[in-house]
Amino acid sequence: MRAAVSEATTSDSLPTFAERFARFEAMDLTLSMARGQPCSEQFDLSNDLWAAFDESCDYQAENGLDCRNYPGGPYGLPEARKFFAKIVSATPEEVIVGDNASLQMMQNVITWALLRGVPVPGVSGGERPWAKEEAVKILCPVPGYDRHFTVCESLGIEMIPVPLTAEGPDMEVVARLVAADPQIKAIWCVPRYSNPTGIVYSDSVMDALASMGTAAPDFRIFADDAYAVHHLDDSPPPMKSILAACKEAGNPERVFVFGSTSKVTFAGAGVCFMAASKVNIDYFAKLFGTQSIGPNKVNQLRHVRFLSGVPGGLKGHMQRHADLIRPKFEVVENVLAAELGGTGLATWTKPRGGYFVSLDTKPGMASQVVALAKEVGLTLTGAGAAFPYRKDPADCNIRIAPTRPSLDEVRLAMEILAVCIKMVAEE
């Protein structure tokens, strides 16, 4: 961004939206609120990750393995399994720790499910590959995470949107659909600080997901807990463990939970994990073991040592993240409230964690707003991105990702967004 931000943000002298828009145009901006990326100051919190081996040159895991060498198998280091198990209330035996991207692990699991099936308790003869069905369908609560939808598209899986409420997926709709159609093999969920609305699933939604009757005996919940420890305040909302809910409901095999340190340490250079029943974990460990001799143990060891040793442990580390990004979420709220509050032109979420704010304009406006913002150099996530096949039926949803830009940039971006909404509404 080349022009001075403060000049534009403090000026009240231009009364019309068109004049404010012209002012933004003149600033020759390059501003992106498109993707949920940490800012550089957040990355700086983890620079000592690289120091984990500096002095000691000790690459030995707690079971005596030299992490520089191949042996170890597909499950990940014991200390890493313990570390991530705690985060999602699992046992270490219920966790497999992988490499740098939970998204890749999700795609991997789905691909294996298509080719080999998933464990089905009590079904003799083993698993039936999902791909043997005439069609494979996945329920997608909307708005949702665009990359989940890309995974499905890339594998030819049909996506069925279901509404996401403030408590989680609309369980009446979900229960009706899964009870009727054996080709519906799974549902995507981001149970904590959902991308993009920031909602947290209620206990009753967790219980309903865990206990509902499904026509497919090999139905699975893909619970992407990407924001498991990414709270914005000190009293995070409680969330029932979906693993526990499935066990209680007598469906222990039903859920896969995923997570990573992409937004804890370095994005794309961290460690990911999957938690599920031991039956599931052993099944997928065997398949993963055919793809690689084992995951990057050096990175796993470095992560466990670093995150266990930082002041306040993982909790303290995540509080320092929150201190850096909370003001940005506050600016989003304050500018939107000042510009759009009471106008009836938009509603937006006020998340208590995660990386996004979800804004809904009046129907039929989102694509035009995103296009107009682009004209003055503000890139927002593409309209419709939070919906399967990029089709937002109401053309109203816009995802705001405020973490990466500076505070001044977030303020300016929100002013631009608000002005664009007002201009489109006037038209």
Ligand X SMILES: Cc1ncc(COP(=O)(O)O)c(C=O)c1O
- Give the residue carrying structure tokens 């001075």: 4
Q: How far is the CB of 193 from ligand X (least distance, A)?
A: 9
Structure tokens that stand for 54 in this block: 């500096």
272 binds ligand X (CB under 6 A): yes
Site string for ligand X, 18-57 (x = CB under 6 A): ------------------x---------------------
Stretch near ligand X under the rule CB under 6 A, chosen from 68-76, 97-105, 201-209, 325-333: 97-105
- The CA distance from 241 to 121, in Å, is 21
Beta carbon nearer to ligand X, 260 or 277:
260
Per CB under 6 A, the list member of 195, 241, 349, 368 interacting with ligand X is 195
Per CB under 6 A, the list member of 262, 368, 397, 403 interacting with ligand X is 262
> Where does 35-173 show beta strands of DSSP type E?
95-97, 137-142, 158-165, 168-169
83 binds ligand X (CB under 6 A): no
Q: How far is the CB of 248 from ligand X (least distance, A)?
A: 25
**Nearest 5°: phi and psi at 222?**
-95, 95
Structure tokens that stand for 357 in this block: 């704010």
Beta carbon nearer to ligand X, 36 or 92:
36
Stretch near ligand X under the rule CB under 6 A, chosen from 99-107, 135-143, 339-347, 389-397: 99-107
- The CA distance from 213 to 2, in Å, is 57
Which amino acid belongs to residue 411? R
Q: How far is the CB of 111 from ligand X (least distance, A)?
A: 15
Per CB under 6 A, the list member of 52, 184, 226, 372 interacting with ligand X is 226
- The CA distance from 69 to 60, in Å, is 10
Beta carbon nearer to ligand X, 92 or 353:
353
Per CB under 6 A, the list member of 42, 102, 280, 397 interacting with ligand X is 102
CA 251 to chain centroid, in Å, comes to: 25
CA dihedral (255, 247, 307, 238) positive or negative: positive
CA dihedral 164, 112, 150, 267 (to 10 degrees): 90
Stretch near ligand X under the rule CB under 6 A, chosen from 14-22, 101-109, 114-122, 365-373: 101-109
Closest by CA to 116, choosing from 251, 287, 285, 281, is: 287
386 binds ligand X (CB under 6 A): no
Beta carbon nearer to ligand X, 46 or 102:
102
Binders of ligand X among 140-169, rule CB under 6 A?
145
Which residues are CB-neighbours of 417 under 8 A, at least 6 positions away? Answer: 336, 359, 369, 373, 378, 380, 398, 400
Beta carbon nearer to ligand X, 24 or 266:
266
- Name the closest residue to ligand X (Cβ): 260
- DSSP state, residue 381: P
- The CA distance from 421 to 415, in Å, is 10
Closest by CA to 106, choosing from 71, 73, 150, is: 150
- The CA distance from 91 to 244, in Å, is 11
> What does each C-alpha distance from 264 to 48, 313, 357 come to in angstroms?
13, 12, 19
Binders of ligand X among 231-260, rule CB under 6 A?
260
Q: How far is the CB of 224 from ligand X (least distance, A)?
A: 5
Beta carbon nearer to ligand X, 96 or 376:
96
Q: How far is the CB of 126 from ligand X (least distance, A)?
A: 30
Per CB under 6 A, the list member of 136, 189, 190, 325 interacting with ligand X is 190
Beta carbon nearer to ligand X, 202 or 403:
403
CA 406 to chain centroid, in Å, comes to: 22
Binders of ligand X among 295-354, rule CB under 6 A?
none
Beta carbon nearer to ligand X, 199 or 418:
199
Stretch near ligand X under the rule CB under 6 A, chosen from 21-29, 100-108, 313-321, 357-365: 100-108
Structure tokens that stand for 402 in this block: 């405020």
- The CA distance from 51 to 28, in Å, is 41
**What is the number of other CB atoms lying within 10 angstroms of the CB of residue 371?**
14
| Number of residues lying near ligand X (CB under 6 A) | 12
225 binds ligand X (CB under 6 A): no
- Give the residue carrying structure tokens 């937006």: 348
Binding site for ligand X (CB under 6 A): 36, 101-103, 145, 190, 195, 224, 226, 260, 262, 272
